[in-house]
Structure 1
Amino acid sequence: MTGRARRVAVVLCGLLLFGAVTACSSSGSGGDTHGAVTAELASDNPVPISNDPRPVLPVTVHSEDGREVTVRDVSRIVAVDQYGTYGTTVFALGLGKNLVGRDTATKFPAAQSIPNVTPGGTQLNAESVLALHPTVVLTDTTIRPATALQQIEAAGVPVVYFSPTRSIATATTEIKQVATALGVPALGDRLADRTDREIAEAKAMVPADAPKRKIAFLYARGTGLLILGGPGSGADTLIEDLGGIDAGTAQGLTSPFTPVTTESLIAARPDTFLMMTGGLASVGGLDGLERVPGIAQTPAGRNRSVVDMDDGVLLSFGPRTGAVMIALAKALYPNR
């Protein structure tokens, strides 16, 4: 990754935040063609797998940073990562009432009254976390600075790290790991099973006879920040498991996120753009997107084919992964 691409990817990591779903279909790859279609998650909030979780503690778990961490109390949980995965998982395990601190991406209605300890997206202040008197912190290396987390640990608070990798393949593993750290492994198994069933349901919604359309994940924050997703972006696995071809990967990109040029957009030739709702709004919606150089020269641009989805859920890859995939499948294949 070039220095500029690395800087842009860091900016991207701090901005995965917003909400909704709109889809316009494509042309070239034979997808359904239907103007603007809105798809939404069945529930605004994560659906708890249990209304009466009973953690069994203490529990000692292996942290991603190589330590063995003992958790003795989960009555005051702080869960922070750039995607909102851990906060969502806490709620989905039925422990939402125990969450006292969250990240910016954990933005569903039930979490809005909980203090946001990463107001800038990924930057954490140790004092603001310690002021919440947490009994455990769940995090990964997407949160900075590392010294803040070290300060929290030095104050006697157990800090458990998990892998920062996000994909469909790792979603249920992460659920089980978080559940184990919180003393509810059986609920983690149930939640993972439910998520797997929803993922399978979404995959079954992809018509077997549908020609594969080329879909490009386009991250935007105004016309000054446009990034094309590639291998490892997370969006690539969503696209592929929903019967599409990831345009960035097919074009030969080697980095998860690459700054967009007019030439790269035209060369990618996507049939559909996959975007975050806040990103699409930041360029002025569909009309504004059409004015971005290169967009109108793509099949997706000519057909106004865009699927946009809540910034807070699209790439979170946790207990709502299956629900996200079902919503996207409905948007991509409205007549199937």
Structure 2
Amino acid sequence: MFRTDSSPRVSTRLAGGIALLAAVIALAGCAAPAAEAIDADCPAASIPLASLDLAENPRTATGPSTACLASHAIEPIAADDAPDLPVTVTDAEGRAVEITDVSRILPVDISGTIAATVFGLGLGDAVVGRDSSTSFDGTEELPVVTKSGHTLNAEAILELAPTVMLTDTSIGPKEVRQQLRDAGVAVVVVSSERRADTVSDLVGEIAAALGVPGRGDALAEQLDADVVAASAEAAEIAPVAASDRPRMLFLYVRGNANVYYIFGRDSGADSLIEAVGGVDVASEIGWEGMKPMTAEALVAAQPDVVVMMTDGLASVGGVDGLLDRIPALQQTPAGEHRRVVDMADAEILSFGPRTAEVIRALARAVYAPGTGAEAAAGEGPAVGEGPAS
């Protein structure tokens, strides 16, 4: 829970997605990609969903696709009101934190969402550092304060002399957060929940902590409208009948660490699949949160489309390597059709100011598979009623 003295904005859903993801990445001992790992060449991403050349049947399209964003920039809300400080908030860990100065902001979490939100609030100029997942335009020169991917480096943080640090429980260790508090840094722990339908909750928490609740209300309203619009656009190109909608499964993989997890209900991935009009088959078979993959679960789920992070797919050697390592996947329509949709690690679950564009990007890759990043190089997948001959 996160409370402020003026305008509380709290989600009632079970905290899940990103906090669970942190545990998996810690187990894998693997970092998210740096900024340069993201492919910015995605001309098809500017095509409206309604103008796409759609697959005749999204359940039987063949071949892999890469979902990508046309732009990695964050557009700040139009506002010029100065932060109203000091402000005291009760953060997600129940601590009362007084913030007196937001001239040097350090936003860090596992997905880069907090930093994107600070930039969306128009306070990007005050950001002094970043985590390894923060990779959107305008952050390239900021020093990274996480080592080994998602471990806070106290020395690197203190060198930046932040006046306020915004973080969550997806990144740690907690002893470092306490060390920073002892050094006089105002550390605010916000909610770790990330879902397509709770974007405005996080905006409200961050805006309150930075003394700009008015900007938060404006940005939350804008982002909520953007997500509703993107979901409606996806619904327009998705099949009407539930039985015709693509059956999708989110698979988290780190091949070098032999980590294979399925993301299910309340993982955050389920909300993204639902937003693009797909059927989350992990939830359908009763898969809660995030758990190690089993062959039985894959076969029971029978996905038409497997959704993955780009670096995860690369870690097993692409689609061929994925099928070799997970023989059970070959017993599903997705494996038979080689139907894997990947998206950059730092984007796919970064629920925040880019959520609407993430929804649109995934919808393009699912319903018009020839419009992904690989299509620009003439390597787009085939579309049709069945597997390629």
TM-score, length basis structure 2? 0.77
Q: Retained in 2: the 8 A contact 1:31–1:333?
A: no
Distance 1:14 1:77, change over 3 A: farther
| 1:195 corresponding residue in structure 2 | 223
* Equivalent runs, 1:210-229 vs 2, <5 Å: 210=241, 211-222=244-255, 224-229=258-263
| 1:268 corresponding residue in structure 2 | 301
Matched, 1:122 2:169: no
| 1:175 corresponding residue in structure 2 | 203
1:166: Cα distance to partner? 1.3
Q: Retained in 1: the 8 A contact 2:67–2:362?
A: yes
| 1:68 corresponding residue in structure 2 | 96
| 2:283 corresponding residue in structure 1 | 249
CA distance, structure 2, for counterparts of residue 73 and residue 177 of structure 1? 17
| 2:27 corresponding residue in structure 1 | 11
Distance 1:266 1:26, change over 3 A: farther
* Equivalent runs, 1:90-109 vs 2, <5 Å: 90-109=118-137
1:96: Cα distance to partner? 1.5
1:8: Cα distance to partner? 4.3
Identify which of 280, 291, 297 aligns with 1:258.
Answer: 291
Letter in 1 for 2:72: D
Letter in 2 for 1:264: A
Name the SS for the 2:307 alignment partner: strand
Letter in 1 for 2:163: T
CA distance, structure 2, for counterparts of residue 14 and residue 136 of structure 1? 28
| 1:333 corresponding residue in structure 2 | 367
| 1:112 corresponding residue in structure 2 | 140
Unmatched 5+ stretches in structure 1: none
Query: % of aligned pairs identical?
Result: 45
RMSD of aligned C-alpha atoms? 2.8
1:288: Cα distance to partner? 2.1
| 1:312 corresponding residue in structure 2 | 346
Q: After superposition, give the CA deviation of every residue in 1:124-161 in whole Å (9 maximum; x if it has no partner).
A: 12222111110100011122221111111111111111
Unmatched 5+ stretches in structure 2: 1-20, 45-53, 370-389
1:268: Cα distance to partner? 1.9
Matched, 1:281 2:314: yes
Q: Retained in 1: the 8 A contact 2:22–2:170?
A: no
Name the SS for the 2:116 alignment partner: helix
1:117: Cα distance to partner? 1.0
TM-score, length basis structure 1? 0.88
CA distance, structure 1, for counterparts of residue 355 and residue 22 of structure 2? 27
Bigger shift: residues 285-294 or 134-143: 285-294
- Residue-pair matches, total: 328
1:38: Cα distance to partner? 4.1
Identify which of 355, 360, 367 aligns with 1:321.
Answer: 355
| 2:272 corresponding residue in structure 1 | 238
Letter in 1 for 2:153: N
| 2:84 corresponding residue in structure 1 | 56
